[in-house]
Amino acid sequence: MTILKIHGCSGAGKTTFARSLIEAADTIDHLHEINNRRKIVGYRLALPSLDVPVYLLGSYESNCGGVDTVGTAQEVMEMIDRYAKEGHVVHEGLLQSTYYGAMGEHSKKYGNGYVYAFLDTPINVCLDRVVTRRATNESKNKFNPELTRNKWNTINRLRDKLSKEGQHRVAVLNYEKLPLAQLLQLLEPR
């Protein structure tokens, strides 16, 4: 089974890529079981082109989704371990896009079955998308584009570091191409 972690700053398209799996699914089951919470913490997806289910972690009930809606990194790692036994696991989140840390150490046990997928969205496109999203949502908070630029730089440094180290499978997702086709290619057995 493949575990796929999608990386990108705000506006890069992480949620769009993740939602492409939901849109392609023949059946969708909601996952609720972390600490007996009633909220959705993920989805079990049956996709017509795959023989095993895809577990998409995090809620996508609002505009932005992903594992930032789940809780702690420990809870995410426990979900990965549980669902990797049954199918593919896909997850994304802004907070987890910027660091390696404990989740990176956790990923080592999966070897090349754990894919770090980085969106190649240019920073100007990310910033335009964030501004548009904030206007649509009528956000009253002041936008600081420098924070998004810093996250974009941090994520690209992480991609370069992981690529150079060669301990992990690293992929680049083209923000201009169809999300679903790229994700399915990464989920196919190697």
Q: Give the chain as a 3 state SS string.
A: CCEEEEECCCCCCHHHHHHHHHHHCCEEEEECCHHHCCCCCEEEEECCCCCCCEEEECECCCCCCEHHHCCCHHHHHHHHHHHCCCCEEEEECHHHHCCCHHHHHHHHHHHHHEEEEEECCCHHHHHHHHHHHHHHCCCCCCCCHHHHHHHHHHHHHHHHHHHHHCCCEEEEECCCCCHHHHHHHHHCCC
Instruction: Give the pLDDT score at 33.
Output: 65
34 pLDDT band, cuts 50/70/90, is low
Instruction: Give the pLDDT score at 37.
Output: 61
156-189: per-residue pLDDT in tens?
999 999 999 988 899 999 999 999 999 999 998 6
Share of the chain above pLDDT 70, in %: 96
59-100: per-residue pLDDT in tens?
988 777 788 888 788 999 999 999 999 999 999 998 888 888
